[in-house]
Structure formats: structure tokens, C-alpha cells
Amino acid sequence: MIYRKVEKVKENISVIGIGCWNFGGDWDGSSDKNTENIIMAALDGGINFFDIAPVYGFSHSETVLGHIMKRYGFRNKILIASKCGLRWDKNRKTRNDLSRKSILWEIDQSLSRLQTDHIDIYQLHWPDHATPIEETAETLKELKKAGKIRYVGLSNYSQEEVKRFEQLMEVNSQQSLYNMLERNTSSYHNIPLEYKTEEEVLPYVKEHGQAFLPYSPLFQGLLSGKWKDKNHFSKQDIRNENPKFSEPAFSGYFETAQKLKAYADAIGHPLNEIAMNWLRQKEEVTTIIAGASNPEQMKQNLKCLEWELTPQMLKEIETIIEPYKYL
Ligand SMILES: NC(=O)c1ccc[n+]([C@@H]2O[C@H](COP(=O)([O-])OP(=O)(O)OC[C@H]3O[C@@H](n4cnc5c(N)ncnc54)[C@H](OP(=O)(O)O)[C@@H]3O)[C@@H](O)[C@H]2O)c1
């Protein structure tokens, strides 16, 4: 494993992290035994960074990680980056809420599910424009003082808002959508994004010494190179809700992924490793929070650490992905 260090986080962070969304079964379903095997493969590979959220599996992801962490006793060997601000009702309809009352409730729920007394990086999952950021920042300061959280991260925020937030308290990390084909993209599922990752977030994190966590590094699987067509999700899979996987958007993305796959075959490396290494060669990237549906995928993604993209390869890749630079 390779570890990276940024000014605003004391610990060294593994450049490959683990995204725990699909532990909760929102994707194609995942048994807890499968989750346990994924986690063991991650720990074996030297991963020390776990990105998770209460809403993943509507609390199940945190619960299962809590059980497995307790059973194997690795809590103090990892950094847990959980989140707050996305609440859901009995019909699982979500809403943004970063009010003091809600955060104070959410943190105790997360700590109890994770069976720990603190969360290392507590991230605001999405902005909540109905709550003044002063109220949210004051609440996070209280949590820090109480020792319930150590660092604060913002996820999916515009850089103007990050700047405003930093006038109230230190921001240690940022998380945004970023992969070879979603570099400055303007939407995630049906949500408009208030930031351009490559153009705005990357320069900001670099200048401010923040950890940067790109999410969906494999474009939810499209950049694994295994897709034959668009119809491979089961009915329950949340990726059905991503409009980029339906027409009119899908064909362009799929054709480009096919071109990248042909390039990957030509240079003799799998596309998933190319996609991971394309992110890894960016100095701003602290940890790539990659999701895996089984332990084999986790191991396959870790194999990217065995080689690096050369400047020539980067140039050739750029000619393929250039049309997506500002998409
Ligand atoms: N802050 C936010 O708003 C936000 C939003 C989204 C995600 N995230 C975080 O980012 C993490 C990762 O993002 P993501 O899960 O959206 O996307 P991702 O990491 O781009 O894709 C993960 C999926 O790609 C496929 N895959 C992974 N490795 C593979 C391999 N070696 N070979 C073949 N297929 C492979 C698997 O899907 P199959 O089931 O098809 O095999 C896997 O579940 C999440 O777990 C979460 O922690 C955060």
C-alpha cells in the first residue's frame, strides 16, 4: 500500500480506501458474509480508510461495519469517515437536514451502530440550504469538543460554500464525484452539482492542504471494463436511477468506455486498474474510495498499485477522454 499525507489530517491515509455504500444492499444486494470478506481483503491490502454514511443501506452499512470491526478488533487501525445530513422517512424518501437537532441525533445513532466512541472524519453529505451554515458549524464544534468527531469533511459542496465554512471552522477534507469520464460533470443521478471537480475542487484542496476523496472512481462499474451493454443491473439496483446509464446519455459514455477497454487491452492492463491509476497519479487525490461488490474486485482494484501510468500513456488516454473534460 502507498500512504498519503496532507497538512490538515495528521494520519497517513492509504491511497486506496474503501467505499462502504454497497454493504447495505442498495446495489445488487450483499450478504453480511460477503461484506466481511470484502473488508478482510481491504485490511489485508493495507487499506486504512473507510468511507460510509448512515443512509447507505438505510443504516445497515454502518451496523454491519460496527459488528465486523468489533469482532476482529480493528477499530483503532482505521479511519472512519462517516456522514450526516441525509435523513429518510418510513418510505425511504430522503431529505437534507443539517440542523443542530438533527446532527445531534444522527451522531449518536452512528456511534451506536458503529460501536465506537468517535468518528474520525465527519462529513456533511450534501448541502442543506435551509439551515444556516453557522448553525451547522457550531454543532460540529460542539461534537469536536465532546470528542465524538475528530475532523470535519464537506461532500458535494461548492467552493464558495467551503470558503464560507472555513471562516467558521477548519475543513479537513472534501469529497466529490470524480473519475476519468466525470471530471467536471454537472449532475449526479438527478441532483445538480454545485461544483466542478477538476476545475474548482482540485485547486482548492491543494491550496488548503485538505484531504481529497474522489467518489465513484469506476463510474459505478462502467470503468471496470466488464460491461457488455447497459442492461446488466437487477431491478433493485440503485444504479437504475442514474440517468447517465439510460439514453440519450448512455451511448456516448459506453462507446468511450469501450475505446478505453480497447486501449487497456493494447497496453496489457485491465481498465479498472487504469481508472484507479489515472486518479492515483493526481497529487490532489488522497484516497480513492472505491466500492467493491465482492472481495475479488477489491483485490483486483488493489493490483493497480503494482504499476503506474507513464506520461505517454496519460497522453494517449487524454485523447480518448478529452471530450469529457468539461462534460
Ligand atoms: N459523497 C457522496 O455523495 C457519494 C456518492 C456516491 C458514492 N460515494 C462513496 O464512494 C464509494 C464508491 O463509489 P461508487 O460505489 O458509487 O462507485 P465505484 O467505486 O465507481 O463502483 C463500484 C462498483 O463497480 C464495480 N466494480 C468495482 N471493482 C470492480 C472490478 N475490479 N471489476 C469489475 N467491477 C468492479 C462493482 O459493481 P458490480 O456490482 O457491477 O460488480 C462495484 O460495486 C461509495 O461506496 C461511497 O462510499 C459517495
Q: Confirm or reject: Cβ of 27 under 6 Å from ligand 1.
A: yes
Query: 56 catalytic, yes or no?
Result: yes
Q: Using a 6 Å cutoff on CB, does residue 299 contact ligand 1?
A: no
Measured in Å, residue 217 CA sits from the centre of ligand 1 at 7
* Cell numbers for 313: 500513456
Q: Are 217 and 276 in contact (CB under 8 A)?
A: yes
Would you place residue 236 in the very low, low, confident or very high pLDDT band (cuts 50, 70, 90)?
confident
pLDDT, tens only, 33-89: 999 999 999 999 999 999 999 999 999 999 999 999 999 999 999 999 999 999 999
124 vs 104: CA distance, rounded Å: 13
301 lines ligand 1 (CB under 6 A): yes
- What confidence tier does 239 reach under pLDDT thresholds 50, 70, 90? confident
Q: How much is the mean pLDDT over the chain? A: 95
Its pTM surpasses 0.75: yes
Q: Identify the pLDDT of residue 191.
A: 96
Are 48 and 79 within 8 A, CB to CB? yes
E strands, the chain, in order: 3-6, 9-14, 16-19, 49-51, 79-84, 86-88, 94-96, 119-124, 149-155, 173-177, 187-188, 191-192, 211-215, 288-291
Domains delineated in the chain = 3-324 (3.20.20.100)
Find the 131 Cα to ligand 1 centroid distance in Å.
Answer: 30
Cα 262 to ligand 1 centre (Å): 22
Taking the centre of ligand 1 as the mean of its atom positions, its distance from the CA of residue 215, in whole angstroms, is 8
Determine whether the shortest distance from the Cβ of 242 to ligand 1 is under 6 A.
no
> CB-side exposure of 325: number of CA atoms within 13 Å?
7
Q: For residue 29, what pLDDT band results from cuts at 50, 70 and 90?
A: low
Question: Which atom of ligand 1 is the closest one to the Cα of 51?
Answer: 47
pLDDT for the residue numbered 181: 97
Cell for 262?
A: 480497447
Ligand 1 pocket check for 216: Cβ under 6 Å: yes
Q: Does position 327 have pLDDT exceeding 80, yes or no?
A: no
| Mutational test site, ligand 1, from 224, 287, 294, max ligand atoms within 8 Å of CB | 224
Q: Is 295 in the pocket of ligand 1 (CB under 6 A)?
A: no
Whether the pLDDT of residue 325 is over 90: the answer is no
pLDDT of residue 240: 86
C-alpha cell at 229: 451493454
Q: What angle do CA 155, 158, 164 make, to 5 degrees?
A: 100
